[in-house]
Amino acid sequence: MLKNIKIYALLIITLGFMACSNDNEVEPLFDQDIDTRVNAQLESYKKILIAPEFGWKADYFPGESEALFRVHLKFNADNTVETTSDYKNGTNDLPSTYRVGVNQLPELVLENYSTLHSLFETQQFALGAEFEFIFEEITSEKVVLKSKTDQGDKSIITLTPATALDKDQIIVLQGLEERIKDGHLTTDFFRELTITNTAAQEVFSSNFSFNDNTRRATFSGADNSNNILSFDLPLKITETGFDFITPFSFNGTDFQSFTYEVATNTFKSTVGDLIAVISASIEPGYISDDILKIQDGTRSIFGYRPTYGDAQFMSQEFLDIFTTINTNLAPNGLTMSIYFFILDFSTPTPTATMTFRASDGTTDFAGNYNFNVSVVDKKMFLTLVGATDANGGFFQPRIQPLLDYWTSPNGLLYTERGNFRTFSNAFTNQSGSFFSIDNPISSYVIWFQ
């Protein structure tokens, strides 16, 4: 107890001494108020940002397992920032202003729409990109910025001082992703990825597609044992082609770097005795077995009513067919109501009938047509035999675009789409989409049986 009293007494004496001391006797703990100190700190951050003669560069992975985007930022003393990127040909590399401020923590905000904003918005923020950052680390050699708004794992962008060549090297990459997109230097609609061995035997064939918004490639196909393999991989653009961020493996062989060959308009990767090639094609590299459900009678009646709305797998070009038909019917006071097919594969010569209905607002008028139908190499072929009644004859020239679609000479591909859905409801009816090889248009249909 006595010991505690002595401690308290010493503390009181010390405080009294401090209270009696003047400014000349005790140095103040801080010689500036907190606002002044914070502003000075932020000003030092800004000086670091504008210091490098050639700006800053970054290899930006917006989120885990996402693609690589190359970015160059040049911060100026007037609070403007110049962006250069290899994303979408630099289309969104727009002038912007920036702010170094504090909101709980020191932060960097790019204030006007530019490339980082575009990446942030991509496919409903799927990439995890950012344009508002918290300073995680800042020195003259490295600036680490952490996402301000991401939930869970925060995206990170690390800036390092650029050289005189870095910006130009990014500019060289602009537009090169166009080579990967469907239709580059060709009118062939499809893109396939195939793998062959040294004997030129195909051991894997798949459909390949590239999403330049997310910079991801997807491909799904079958090997020569009919094993289905599917991949969804991020990539980075290179001067010679592209690299997958992580390789994809086929039978123990990893493929990562693909080189573009101008003469053949293909991407190629050779690893050991296997060669992977991405090329344009007039037909898919892989067709699923979904159409067998039609051939075996599991699906037999399908159609679509325009009033169901803009279905998610209906291409705009197919919806335009409905518009054309209504324009053709308008002089007769009619509007398209519905069309549907009934398929019959139970006979030696399979047949199909189509009913087309139009309304004058009070009465529906139906026209009917006969077709021969077959499934060859997982493609459906319809051949019009002709109208079977007077209404069918009347409607035929007015609905010719619809008939042309369904009688595509090189056939129709079919894909199951699960339960029929509208914007607000899901139904037990199954749905699917047909795709014309001759005229690359997708039609969404509902199975009524």
The burial class, CB within 10 Å (0-12 / 13-18 / 19+), for 363 is exposed
93 C-beta neighbours (distance < 10 Å), count:
22
Non-local CB neighbours of 124 within 8 Å, separated by 6+ positions: none
Counts of helices then strands in the chain (DSSP H, E): 8, 24
Cβ pair 336, 358 in contact under 8 A: yes
What sign for the dihedral angle of Cα 289, 294, 297, 298? positive
- What pLDDT shows up at residue 420? 85
What residue has token string 């693609």? 67
H helix intervals, 21-75: 34-50
Residue of 329, 316, 341 whose CA lies nearest to 365: 329
Q: How far is CA 403 from the centre of its chain?
A: 33
Q: Tokens 């079977």 sit at which residue?
A: 388
Write down the pLDDT at residue 6: 33
pLDDT at position 31 is 57
Measuring CA to CA, how many Å separate 116 from each of 130, 153, 245, 257, 320? Answer: 6, 18, 20, 26, 36
Task: Please give the pLDDT value at position 429.
Answer: 87
**pLDDT of the residue at 63:** 86
pTM for this structure? 0.80
**Cβ atoms of residues 326 and 333 within 8 Å:** no
C-alpha 417: how far from its chain's center?
Answer: 19
What is residue 423's predicted lDDT score, i.e. its pLDDT? 56
> Which pLDDT belongs to residue 272?
96
Residues of the chain falling short of pLDDT 70: 1-32, 150-152, 310, 422-426
CB atoms within 10 A of CB 117: 19
Give the CA distances from residue 318 to residues 175, 324, 337, 409, in Å, rounded to whole numbers and listed in that order: 30, 10, 16, 17
User: Tell me, what's the pLDDT at 202?
Assistant: 96
Count CB atoms within 10 A of the CB of residue 29.
5
Q: How far, in whole angstroms, is CA 313 from its chain's centroid?
A: 16
CA dist 8 and 68 (Å) reads 63
Q: What are phi and psi of 332, to 5 degrees?
A: -100, 10
**Beta carbons of 69 and 119 less than 8 angstroms apart:** yes
